Amino acid sequence: MDQTPFRHPFLPTLYDIDAAGVLFFGHLFRHLHDAYEAFMAEVGWPLPEIIAEGRFALPIVHTSADYLLPIRHGQALMVELAVTEIDESGFGIDYRIRDADNRLYATASTRHRCIAPEAQKRCPLPEALRRSLRHYSNSR
């Protein structure tokens, strides 16, 4: 992440914790998606408006994550989000989860593809959205 990342705080709740006392692996993506929603609103593209308008959708077509340190209940953490690539019909996002001491707990990535909802087929990413994403991207 060479550019300044978007930051979104989160606290793992009891609901997030598994029997081993750490964050259940799949729940990480719920927190990442919360950060993604906040990010999209920040850059002027709130997801509820995109969905209601129905002109295009941005489903996730690929994810990956690496868990580096155990995440515990009530631990104050920060999701750092940066756009890694923007192309004709999609974009990638890298996430870093850190604590106040800058320790890295997890990394993840998602790949989003722009589709026409009715046809369920790939379509071009709107140019105005592409411009909005560039502020948090190396692809300026």
What's the 3-state SS for 35-53?
Answer: HHHHHHHHCCCCHHHHHHH
Is 87 considered catalytic here?
no
What ranges make up the beta strands (E) of 34-103? 60-67, 77-87, 90-98
> 39 phi and psi, to 5 degrees?
-60, -50
Distance CA 32, CA 25 (A): 12
Please tell me which residue in 2, 16, 18, 66 is annotated as part of the active site: 18
| Residues recognised as catalytic | 18
